[in-house]
Amino acid sequence: MTALCTTLPDNLRLLLVDDHRIFLDGLSLALSPLSQNLQIHTAHSAAEAEQCLRQHDYDLILLDLRLPDDPGIELLQRWLVRGENTPVAILSASDSALEAQAALAAGALGFIPKSSDGNALRQAVTRVLLGETLPAPSSSSPLTPRQLEILQLLAEGLPNKAISRELGLAEDTVKTHLKALFETFAVHTRTACVSAARQRGWL
């Protein structure tokens, strides 16, 4: 193991929240060298994560953005409002700078792409455990965190109703944000909006 990880305590307890069980198995294996007595708990939904938090204290939570019952960012914000002080880093299949910025704006201490190799993953987790906030990839986007979230879901092809459900927003609120996005990119259609965002490197 690298010297970087020797500064961590021997006893660590992590909570990994992701609905893909095979990914969780691989993640647990990749993180196992972090400390001598590492305990890894897993949850496959927001509800399971909530139950784990009621039963245990954790040194770090690694949270997927896409959960079957609750968006990861909404879950994180709920924890912060409730006063949970466990550090949270976001895991995502997307390498999007916008998604990373939205996660950090919501209160995450780091954004770790699922495409990271084992060594990069361990280094990122170690830095968060040692109290660092991992910087988001650079982006010159002037969009708000909420607009970034909506833009990302727009790029995934979700209709307004699904976006409102995913983010816990009224459909009229989603439409208001979409109007602002269209004005920002000077476009009139959803496809053109996504295309313009990609051309600027914001997706």
Any idea where the domains of the chain sit in the sequence?
Answer: 3-129, 145-199
Instruction: Output the pLDDT for position 5.
Output: 43
**Dihedrals φ, ψ of 163, to 5°?**
-65, -45
- Position 7, amino acid: T
Domain 3-129 sits in CATH at: 3.40.50.2300
Alpha-carbon distances, residue 174 vs 68, 72, 108 (angstroms): 20, 18, 23
pLDDT at 2: 42
Give me the pLDDT at residue 87, please. 93
CA quadruple 69, 71, 74, 80: dihedral positive or negative?
Answer: positive
- Pick the closest to residue 166 from 157, 22, 26 (CA basis): 157
pLDDT at 145: 82
- Averaged pLDDT in 10-residue chunks for the chain of 203 residues: 58 94 92 92 96 95 91 89 91 72 83 85 92 73 84 93 93 94 90 86 74
pTM over 0.75: no
Say yes or no: domain 145-199 is CATH 3.30.565.10: no
